[in-house]
A = this chain, B = another copy of it.
Amino acid sequence: MSHHHNLMADLRQRGVRLTPQREMILDAIHHEDEHLTADEIYQRVQARSPAINIATVYRTLELFKDLHIIHEINLGDCTRYELCQDEPHHHLVCQACGATISLDHAILAPLESKLKKQFGFKAHMEHMVIYGQCAKCQQDAE
């Protein structure tokens, strides 16, 4: 039994109506490693069920966001979506080759507590994206 069935059961508990569209959209997000844009989610769902409408995708993403099932990530120009996870995780993105490196939250924890101590600021670091250049591309550039 896949993780997303638990999620769907959970939603029913919370009084959210379960529709095939919502299930397919959750499925699409769940089955992907990368973070998808609204349109990419739309296309994946459309492959299974051509009648689906892009407006439904946007409305469902909004709903899932409010329910804290997914969250939005803004990389440059495009908005992407991914499942919320227990432990926040982060990404390094190489601007040269596009490679992404996943980061444990531990590496950002010191910054988080420094911000709290110095400014009383409670950072919401669910998913930070840090751009730069990966080791390989730095070598290639030399």
Contacts and interface: CB of A to CB of B under 8 A. Distances in A.
B119 A101 contact: yes
A121 interface: yes
Given A77-B74, A111-B111, A115-B92, A120 B132 contact: no
Give the secondary structure class of A's interface: mixed
Interface string A59-85: 000000000000000111101000000
A117 to B, nearest CB: 11
A71 to B, nearest CB: 11
A108 B111 contact: yes
A28 to B, nearest CB: 22
A134 B111 contact: no
Interface of A: 74-77, 79, 92, 94-95, 101, 107-108, 110-111, 114-115, 118-125, 128, 130-135, 138
A133 B124 contact: yes
> Which 10 residue pairs spanning A and B have beta carbons closest together?
A120-B135, A123-B132, A122-B133, A124-B132, A122-B132, A92-B121, A123-B130, A124-B131, A74-B74, A111-B111
